[in-house]
Amino acid sequence: MTKRVLVPLAQGCEELEAVTIIDLLTRAGVDVVTASLDDNRTITASRGVQLVAQTTLADVESDRFDVIALPGGLPGANHLNEDARLHHMLRQTVQQGGLSAAICAAPKVLVSAGLLDGKKATSFPGVIEQQPAENMTFVDEAVVQDGQVVTSKGPGTAIPFALTLIEIYWDRTNGTKSKAVFSSVEVLAQQLLMRKANCLACSSVKCVV
């Protein structure tokens, strides 16, 4: 069965994180649903890039998702954190056996939803250390998974964050199809990271995407 992932898009979200999550999960065969918080589905991200959500949160509020993945950015993460519907959906997803995931400044939403109590987690520096969840342990790593909660640091870790979500739901031990899907996305991610590392010496690196 195709996995469903909800990516809520708030005004002022971090576009690199949002697009990386959406793109890599879609390439992996996941049914990614993007939803705005209100009726305005045109999202102006933190750097002025415009994204168009497929639907609104009101339209999918009662739907069941395998994963809810929150992009960060400001003021986007603050808008997400102010939405009580989203807190409920995050808790419900975990109760139903799914994952709640957040990157950059968005782990603060997981704190507010009570999902980081007693958990190991990370975020953009200074976000959840200042207002930690009860008995939470901050871990200075790119991606941290603790049970059904996944957190990540920021734009520079968006690819590992997305790959972690893919790996969890495309278990490489469960047949050749899932192995091939994960491997192809992983290769693409490695190529993207290689281009980033060699952008000042492009004559030695062949652009592939």
CATH number for the domain formed by residue range(s) 4-169: 3.40.50.880
Q: Domain-by-domain residue ranges, the chain?
A: 4-169, 175-209
Residue 196 backbone zone (phi > 0: left; psi -120 to 50: alpha; other: beta): alpha
pLDDT tens for the chain, residues 1 to 209: 678 999 999 999 999 999 999 999 998 889 999 999 999 999 999 999 999 999 999 999 999 999 999 999 999 999 999 999 999 999 999 999 999 999 999 999 999 999 999 999 999 999 999 889 999 999 999 999 999 999 999 999 999 999 999 988 765 445 444 555 556 666 766 666 665 555 444 433 333 32
Cα pseudo-dihedral 14, 15, 16, 19, rounded to 10: 130
Active centre residues (catalytic): 104
Nearest to 63 by CA among 86, 95, 89: 89
